[in-house]
């Protein structure tokens, strides 16, 4: 790995990950101070969830013009968040974080905040904790006008190396329980900076979605003695081999990409490794290289579905440190709100109010459309 660690002018960490070795000398000439107003965690006793309150984010940069982009390389006339005139992949602490590192979540709160309340004086409607965790920005390329789908496989490998490196470091801080590496793409999704980039959130707790998945995996193992993730992958692979309407869109030596039968979104793709690993740092060099090539094909197929490039959220689901070793498998989930060239899926009453999704496109139909996109590009699909 070709990694250079440095600091920005206000003390935030920055890390350069290069495709090939470079001798970087990093100095940030700006006169800036840390953003004031740390985040805070507040507990919802009805849903057993933590909500982050981060008022400083109200002032974050919003859709700047290209010549004012803070993620482009610095020039002699303009200093940006990246104090270099060129880079491959760079990661730095977010200047406007949702989680701002106020120490680990108190053990009694991390375990069961509601039960812990019964042993302490306080206000049930106002259980809170100083901001904890960490937020980082990942810039995939210095080229403002491109996208992750247009990068080389070698560059995607470097991005994977950055994700794995930062995951390992964040887990080692003692303040993070789960690491989520993700990309939001497209204004329709809510992106406020057009430069190709993603984010890394280090949560001080296991997220609600992950806790539900862990609970289901434990129930499945208790009932059957089997691994829920492995059985899901096996079932999708079996259907691809024996049915023309299977949901697998692409499979390689180390990975399988498929549309789940329960897909909530018009476009939803899950990518599973064939080997049971819990987090990105555990992937072998061969698995990382293989993923880079498969992911480019998946992104390309998504961009070919509609008249405009696919807006999406794509993120790695990694095991929390607090989770038992056998209950979770690393995987990636990608979804899009676009359902037609000129239509988006908005979360309306049922989805937003009650969490019950209604999908307008059958998953089997979407899987076929994605396979057709791959075939048109001469990349093949399925097994």
Active-site amino acid positions: 197
Beta strand extents in the chain (DSSP E only): 2-7, 13-18, 40-44, 49-53, 89-93, 128-130, 134-139, 178-185, 197-203, 248-251, 255-258, 267-273, 312-317, 331-336, 338-340, 343-344
Instruction: Give the C-alpha separation, 334 to 259, whole Å.
Output: 10
Instruction: Give the C-alpha separation, 88 to 196, whole Å.
Output: 12
User: Does 108 appear as a known binding residue?
Assistant: no
User: Does 144 appear as a known binding residue?
Assistant: yes
Q: Where are the alpha helices (DSSP H) in the chain?
A: 107-117, 153-171, 208-224, 228-242, 285-303, 363-376
Distance of CA 60 to the CA centre of its chain: 20
Distance of CA 55 to the CA centre of its chain: 23
Instruction: Centre a 10 Å sphere on the Cβ of residue 351 and count the other Cβ atoms it contains.
Output: 14
Annotated binding-site members for Zn(2+)? 69, 72, 144, 195
Annotated binding-site members? 69, 72, 144, 195
């Amino acid at each position: 790995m070709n990694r250079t660690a440095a600091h920005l002018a206000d003390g935030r960490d920055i890390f350069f990950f290069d495709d090939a070795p470079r001798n970087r000398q990093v100095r940030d000439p700006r006169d800036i101070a840390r953003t004031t107003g740390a985040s805070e965690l507040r507990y919802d006793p009805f849903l057993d969830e933590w909500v982050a309150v981060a008022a400083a984010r109200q002032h974050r940069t919003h859709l700047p013009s290209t010549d004012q982009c803070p993620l482009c390389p610095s020039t002699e006339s303009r200093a940006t968040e990246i104090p270099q005139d060129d880079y491959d992949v760079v990661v730095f602490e977010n200047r406007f974080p949702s989680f701002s590192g106020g120490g680990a979540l108190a053990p009694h709160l991390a375990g069961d905040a509601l039960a812990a309340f019964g042993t302490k004086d306080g206000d049930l409607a106002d259980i809170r904790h100083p901001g904890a965790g960490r937020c980082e920005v990942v810039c995939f390329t210095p080229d403002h006008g491109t996208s992750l789908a247009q990068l080389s496989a070698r560059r995607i490998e470097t991005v994977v190396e950055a994700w794995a490196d930062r995951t390992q470091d964040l887990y080692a801080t003692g303040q993070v329980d789960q690491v989520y590496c993700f990309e939001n793409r497209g204004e329709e999704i809510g992106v406020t900076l057009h430069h190709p980039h993603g984010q890394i959130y280090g949560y001080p707790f296991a997220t609600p979605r992950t806790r539900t998945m862990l609970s289901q995996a434990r129930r499945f193992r208790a009932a059957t003695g089997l691994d829920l993730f492995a059985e899901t992958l096996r079932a999708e692979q079996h259907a691809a081999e024996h049915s023309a309407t299977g949901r697998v869109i692409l499979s390689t030596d180390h990975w399988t990409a498929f549309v789940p039968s329960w897909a909530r979104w018009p476009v939803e793709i899950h990518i599973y490794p064939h080997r049971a690993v819990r987090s990105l740092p555990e992937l072998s060099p061969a698995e990382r290289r293989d993923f880079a090539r498969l992911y480019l094909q998946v992104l390309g197929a998504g961009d070919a579905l509609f008249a405009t490039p696919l807006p999406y959220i794509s993120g790695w689901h990694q095991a929390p440190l607090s989770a038992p070793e056998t209950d979770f498998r690393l995987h990636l989930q990608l979804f899009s709100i676009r359902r037609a060239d000129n239509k988006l899926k908005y979360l309306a009453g049922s989805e937003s109010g009650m969490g019950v999704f209604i999908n307008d496109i059958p998953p089997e139909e979407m899987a076929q459309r994605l396979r057709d996109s791959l075939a048109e590009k001469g990349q093949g699909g399925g097994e």
